[in-house]
Amino acid sequence: MAALLHLLPTLLLLLPSTPDATSSALLGISYGRVGNNLPPATSVPRILVSLGVSRVRLYDADPATIRAFANTGVELVVGVPDECLAAVSTPTGAASWVRSNIAPALPATKIAFLTVGNEVLTGANSSLLSRYLLPAMQCLHDALAQAGLDKQIAVTTAHNLGVLATSYPPSSAYFRKDLLPVLCPILDFHARAGSPFLVNAYPYFAYAEEPTGVELEYALLELGHAGVADPGSGLHYTNMLAAQVDAVYHAIGAANSAAARAVEVRVSETGWPSAGDANETGATPQNAARYNGNVMRLVAQGKGTPLRPSVPLRVYMFALFNENMKPGPTSERNYGLFKPDGTPAYELSYRLPQDNTTSSSGGGVAAGGVYNGHGYGSENGGYYSISTAGKATMGWWGWRQAAVAACVAVLVMQLWL
């Protein structure tokens, strides 16, 4: 017995620390669950290992899904669904939601962010939900603070690029004037709380809407493309995703110069469908493989955008699986990197390095049980235009650690016998 007690502390030191041993990867992936044929959540960490991704965005707080990531080191962004916004926009409601949905998962599961709603300001229910968005964000932040979790979990929301009135060229971008009364206080919130401004950015939509005006290689982020010059800033853009992100930075600067110095823009969704209807130009497996592979390559470089070169670009790819129950055109059901049976939907053109840890997370950020709408149609011309409104809406242990864990389990059992 004495020998066992002597060995136990040494063996415990060999186990991975949790939850502090969080990956500092810049790349994540959205895990949507709008399907009736998807694999169990417990199988997802193994799939993430094959991608080299250790950050996941969820669109709700389903307990079983969150539990599936316990003790894996995977960092979660947990969604507060649109239908919960009114309830969590009061201090009592927010505290109850955190107590019921977040607290039970800690500390086994690493939760870094709450995203309050998705594309609320441009969704079909924007007239009903917009008034709840900022109060919900503030109340949830306060509830986390009262629970001592605000340094661990930040609060934000994800926007459709339709919040922009114009986006071409990036230096001329500004927010829709009707949204400024909501967006300006939200930017103040981000600046005070230190949380990022999230945007769902899809070069695919710009290309699909203007295939004769947007070069496919530019939308696909292909290396070697000559790029597009911004005459206002003098900056040169070799891929559309960077241009879309910088358009948001410029819009923030135009709306709130103080927030512009403090708020980081991160991409909460981007992707390319591998199939679509006859009128959905460019939705092919080949283009999806090229785009998503290029996103992985771009993010792995750890570089920023032309406007913010010192701020590494952080991105969540959309999505992990094809989701057969999503409404809308065929493309909506074909954004997945994987089929529901766990096999790749296509072969990616790029693979992440084995250790996708190019920069520390800095406690920052970072889709689920509800329909995640993508906008269609555009009121803005130009290469950078995007939809103006959204629709309704493992790191597993290595064999050494596993062996040590087994030894620890045996020793603990012996101690109790």
What is the set of active-site residues? 119, 269
- What are the residues whose beta carbons fall under 8 Å from the beta carbon of 198, sequence distance 6 or more? 115, 156, 157, 158, 159, 265, 266, 267, 268, 365
Distance CA 188, CA 242 (A): 24
**Which two tokens mark 269?**
């969704």
Residue with tokens 């959309």: 318
Number of Cβ atoms within 10 Å of the Cβ of 24: 15
- Complete DSSP assignment for 133-161: HHHHHHHHHHHHHHTT-TTT-EEEEEEEG
State the DSSP H helix or E strand holding residue 91, giving kind and residue range, or none if neither: helix 91-97
Asked whether the bond before 81 is cis by omega within 30 degrees of 0, the reply is no
Instruction: Report helix, strand or coil for 316.
Output: strand
Task: Check residue 74 and report its DSSP letter.
Answer: -
Number of Cβ atoms within 10 Å of the Cβ of 279: 8
Instruction: Report helix, strand or coil for 256.
Output: coil
Is 207 in contact with 127 (CB distance < 8 Å)?
A: no
Distance CA 318, CA 223 (A): 21
Is 202 in contact with 270 (CB distance < 8 Å)?
A: yes
| Burial zone of 259 (CB within 10 Å; 0-12 exposed, 13-18 middle, 19+ buried) | buried
Give the Å distances, CA to CA, from 403 to 15, 173, 237, 339, 398.
10, 55, 49, 32, 9
Residue with tokens 């894996």: 72
Distance CA 411, CA 4 (A): 7
Instruction: Report helix, strand or coil for 35.
Output: coil
Rg over CA atoms, the chain: 22
Number of alpha carbons in the 13 Å side-chain half-sphere of residue 9: 4
